[in-house]
Chains A and B, each alone.
Chain A
Amino acid sequence: MSLDRTDVEKIAHLARLNIAEQDIQEYAENLSNILDLVDQMQAVDTQDITPMAHPMDAIQRLRLDEVTEGNQRDHLQTVAPAVEAGLFQVPKVIE
């Protein structure tokens, strides 16, 4: 599996990563090498194997419906890059 510049640009956009123009080629090569590595998997017949998403077949525990968290806005917003009137600020979103 080999990725070209367009593939890298598309993936970088999906992942919202700015990649410098001069680095694209190297990413393309690195990613292609990784995909070559993982392609070993394709040789294995896994048709009847149930995918294993978690190490153990444990099941989800249910939480009681209780409000346990109060207002922590000031505390939690101390690490925010930009806040005004209690709202996180981002560049204007145009819909």
Chain B
Amino acid sequence: MLDKTLAELAQGLATGEFSSVELTQHYLDRINAEDGTLNSFITVTPEQALAQAEAADQLRAAGSAGTFTGLPIAHKDIFCTQGVRTSCGSKMLDNFVSPYNATVVEHFNQAGAVSLGKTNMDEFAMGSSNESSFYGPARNPWNTDCVPGGSSGGSAAAIAGGLTPGATGSDTGGSIRQPAALCGITGLKPTYGRVSRYGMIAYASSLDQGGPMARTAEDNAMMLNVMAGFDPKDSTSLDRPVPDYTLTLNDSLKGLKIGLPKEFFSGEIDPQITTQVQNAIREFEALGATVQEVSLPNTHLAIPAYYIIAPAEASSNLSRFDGVRYGYRCEDPTDLEDMYKRSRGEGFGEEVKRRIMVGTYALSEGFYDAYYKKALQIRRLIQQDYVNALSEVDIIMGPTTPHPAFKLGEKNADPISMYMEDIFTISLNLAGMPGISVPCGFANQLPVGLQMIGNYFAEERLLNAAHQFQQATDWHKQTPGQ
């Protein structure tokens, strides 16, 4: 059961091979057995999960089950779940039991999914290793001395470790794709506005996008079918019809034009990763695709622009955590200022405070033009790069990360070296286009991710290409040895 995909499990439920209660219990047992090591969950909700499973089984018995009815998943702890603690990986929200559901959570509930619990993450999604979590880092199932990546590291580790067949994630600078790559699973960052942000605790509003994480592209398609769609509660949600992403998975890749940006294959990158990615590209050629070089000349500016825009938005988004209406409030404040400063000083971790301060500085009087406005201008240059490249090719491919999973603590002392791990993922959030990471090999026994990037709303094509690749390879079927 460990390597079963959502599609296979759906089949098992449909044929009565097992019930949702049995399936759910299986995963709860796995979590019990393994999560002491992996620490991939912040909160496990066995009672709620079994109740949902029971309801799903009844629905199925009554003949009104849908594709997702009874399938267990987990939610990144950034999504608000009514009646369940929603911590966002922070001491600030350690006591926050959300009074409402995020739209994404609501969608899964309506689809009849079972929620096993809430997965670990970098605090407020700020990090690339899961080490900034208040609840301690999740660990990489392939090597528990290594990080699972971040910020959706808990989701990735739980899927790779066989603790859940799928999980939600969010991606602001690579937070779905990077941990998917490091844990050897498949993760999709949809087009900005495709999945509602309502109830997904904001880090950087103009970059954040929720998306699916699972073993396969097919599972991602199934999950995206549930997640995607217009939400009147989110002004940045786009009112466009949602296709059935599973219907185009088997389209042929003949004539697919692949672009390889030279900037993604140079600089500080592990040569083993380059090799694996090049092998993957040859696989696509075998499937009928053609390959050409493209250029994304402003790639080197993505990290600088991101580390202004994201902290600036975050500094403002996180102002609501003031100890007044919810969340952490310090003991015995002497006055209002003391309450603000100590609640926030004690409630936020180091990386969060660092980014809030960077953002505060960038927006402060006299610096706005030099930093924030400049970063927004660079952002347009980066977007134009993608628009130009994607006018020549259908899909851009390259490595998801420059290195495989690194050791816990390895990059903690130097924030900048951590930031550099997002060099290939971050520019896509600035442009707003969709990207997917699929497993494509190993480097030092650690998974390597292939990143595929498409134009706005090209999720169907990305999932189709990823699925075809997975029909021809078995990297996604590898599971970490026990």
Contact = CB atoms under 8 A, between A and B. Distances in A.
Interface of A: 3, 7-8, 11-19, 27, 30-31, 33-35, 37-42, 44, 46, 49-56, 58, 60-61, 63, 72, 75-76, 78-82, 88, 90-93
Report, as a range, how many residues of chain B touch the other chain: 35 or more
A14 B323 contact: no
Nearest to B357: A11
B383 A52 contact: yes
A38 B315 CA distance: 17
Give the 10 A-B residue pairs with the shortest CB-CB distance, closest first.
Answer: A55-B432, A18-B345, A51-B376, A46-B377, A52-B380, A18-B341, A49-B377, A16-B340, A81-B329, A55-B192
B84 to A, nearest CB: 12
Given A17-B353, A79-B99, A81-B329, A30 B235 contact: no
Contact of B96 (A11, A79, A90): A79
Contacts of B383: 52, 55
A43 B360 CA distance: 23
Given A18-B345, A58-B193, A80-B325, A41 B375 contact: yes
A37 B419 contact: yes
Contacts of A12: 341, 357
Contacts of B360: 11, 14-15
A17 B336 contact: no
Contacts of B373: 51
Given A18-B341, A60-B235, A81-B324, A51 B357 contact: no
A15 B315 contact: yes
A54 B315 contact: no
Given A46-B374, A54-B206, A16 B329 contact: no
Contacts of A16: 319, 322, 337, 340-341, 344
Given A11-B361, A15-B315, A91 B345 contact: no
B244 interface: no
Nearest to A18: B345
Given A40-B300, A55-B192, A56-B456, A90 B380 contact: no
Contacts of B324: 80-81, 88, 90
B377 A50 contact: yes
B357 A41 contact: no
A61 B358 CA distance: 32
A91 B232 CA distance: 37
A17 B345 contact: yes
Given A53-B376, A55-B193, A37 B344 contact: no
A70 to B, nearest CB: 14
Contacts of B357: 8, 11-12, 15, 17, 27, 31
A76 B82 CA distance: 11
B431 interface: yes
Interface in B342-385: 342, 344-346, 348, 353-354, 356-358, 360-361, 364, 370-371, 373-381, 383
Interface in B304-349: 304-305, 307-308, 315, 319, 322-327, 329, 333-342, 344-346, 348
B238 interface: yes
Contacts of B236: 54, 58
Contacts of B431: 55
Contacts of B96: 79
A93 B378 contact: no
B174 to A, nearest CB: 15
Given A34-B415, A38-B308, A81-B323, A90 B344 contact: no
Contacts of A35: 358, 361
B356 A15 contact: yes
Contacts of B329: 81-82
B380 A51 contact: yes
